[in-house]
């Protein structure tokens, strides 16, 4: 059975009784961080009432949240237990347009029966491409060579690099991004080894990654790339002890989460020369404080300001995905990204 609705913007066809009910209920969604416009239009085409803001102060959010069925955030909004307690009863979903849910108190949400979802895969390509860019920038010292030439020097002998082909890449975390990085690096002729407690040796082999234990990653890798969330197990995973197990001259990339690398230990290892280079996109505290300037300013450290997902494509995908995933929840369709 279908009926035609007149005067409903953008509505061009028939609809079922279930979508009629959803429209009548006019679900309300709050978007509390800047986001690609596709997020708003996806919600609006599904009949949601959208309140899109660039920033909501913490105390205001606790009051505001009470009248919304769903909340969409990127990384700016802290979804604390206080916010979730205030929303409980009406708020059904908190959606993160991105991968990490570090800014959402997931335990408190679960305790209040509020679903937390992210957008798996939405920024995989962009994060993997930045990771590989950093591996290549490290292997050829591109930032320093650029600065040198821009300052009027011509130092061809100084910038002697190393090839990636034939080298061993050790991946920690073989989820979406770790596997994509492996695929790109294999195409460049690298040997790819990796550790992930949730991935069987057979599943890794199907991706042409040799599953190894962590000690083998430290011992065998010429380049190490980290792709795990920050958890109790991964906090300071790369510290003075693990660095001492790495090959002299190892190069390390962290495009995952600050805190996985002990920043003081990394600086010591760069200073001693044991680590030949490091590339960081993420920091224990963001923006990084003055105290880690010696690391950021180290000649063999490349640093970017958390740019892994900063492409037009990734921002479009995560904004679209989170809206359509939330619409699915309210339309009783299969739930994704939980």
* Nearest residue to 293 (alpha-carbon basis) of 272, 264, 269: 264
What positions carry a catalytic annotation? 257, 286, 306
Site string for ligand MLT, 205-244 (x = CB under 6 A): ----------------------------------------
Does position 309 interact with ligand MLT (CB under 6 A)? The reply is yes
Which one of the spans 2-10, 98-106, 215-223, 236-244 is the region binding ligand MLT (CB under 6 A)? Answer: 98-106
Residue of 68, 70, 74, 228 interacting with ligand MLT (CB under 6 A): 74
User: Is 294 a residue that touches ligand MLT (CB under 6 A)?
Assistant: no
d(CA 164, CA 77): 39
Least Å from the CB of residue 308 to ligand MLT: 5
DSSP calls for 171-201: EE--SHHHHHHHHHHHHTT-EEEEE-TTS-H
Residue 47 or 308: which CB sits closer to ligand NAD? 308
Query: What would you report as the CA-atom Rg of the chain, rounded to the nearest whole angstrom?
Result: 23
Whether 30 contacts 53, CB under 8 Å: yes
Pick one of 123, 124, 168, 228: the residue that binds ligand MLT (CB under 6 A).
123
Q: What's the CA gap between 215 and 262, in Å, rounded?
A: 17
- Owner of token pair 């769903």: 70
Binding residues vs ligand NAD (CB under 6 A): 99-100, 123-124, 127, 172-178, 195-198, 227-229, 231, 233-234, 255-257, 281-282, 306, 308-309
81 φψ region: left (φ > 0), alpha (ψ -120 to 50), beta (else): alpha
Q: Which residues bind ligand MLT (CB under 6 A)?
A: 74-75, 98-100, 123, 308-309
């Amino acid at each position: 059975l279908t009926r035609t609705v007149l005067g409903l913007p953008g509505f061009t066809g028939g609809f079922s009784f279930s979508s009629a009910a959803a429209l009548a209920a006019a679900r309300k969604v709050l978007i509390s961080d800047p986001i690609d416009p596709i997020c708003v239009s996806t919600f609006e085409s599904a009949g949601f009432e959208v309140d899109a803001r660039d920033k909501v102060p913490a105390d205001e959010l606790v009051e505001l949240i009470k009248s919304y069925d769903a909340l969409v955030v990127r990384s700016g909004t802290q979804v604390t237990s206080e916010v979730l307690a205030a929303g409980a009863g009406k708020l059904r979903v908190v959606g993160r347009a991105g991968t990490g849910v570090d800014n959402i108190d997931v335990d408190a949400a679960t305790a209040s029966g509020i679903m937390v979802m992210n957008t798996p895969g939405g920024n995989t390509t962009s994060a993997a491409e930045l990771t590989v860019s950093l591996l290549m920038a490290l292997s050829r010292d591109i930032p320093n060579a650029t600065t040198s030439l821009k300052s009027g020097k011509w130092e061809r002998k100084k910038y002697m690099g190393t090839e990636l082909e034939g080298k061993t890449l050790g991946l920690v975390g073989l989820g979406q991004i770790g596997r994509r990085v492996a695929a790109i690096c294999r195409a460049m002729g690298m040997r790819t080894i990796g550790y992930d407690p949730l991935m069987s040796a057979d599943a890794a082999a199907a991706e042409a990654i040799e599953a190894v234990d962590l000690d083998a990653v430290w011992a065998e890798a010429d380049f190490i790339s980290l792709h795990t969330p920050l958890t109790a197990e991964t906090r300071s995973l790369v510290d003075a002890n693990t660095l001492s197990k790495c090959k002299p001259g190892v190069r390390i990339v962290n495009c995952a989460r600050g805190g996985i690398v002990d920043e003081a230990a990394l600086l010591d290892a760069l200073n001693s020369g044991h680590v030949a280079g490091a590339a960081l996109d993420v920091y224990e505290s963001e923006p990084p404080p003055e105290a880690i300037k010696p690391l950021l300013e180290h000649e063999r450290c490349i640093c970017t300001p958390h740019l892994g997902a900063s492409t037009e494509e990734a921002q479009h995908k995560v904004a679209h995905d989170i809206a359509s995933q939330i619409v699915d929840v309210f339309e009783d369709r299969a739930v994704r990204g939980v």
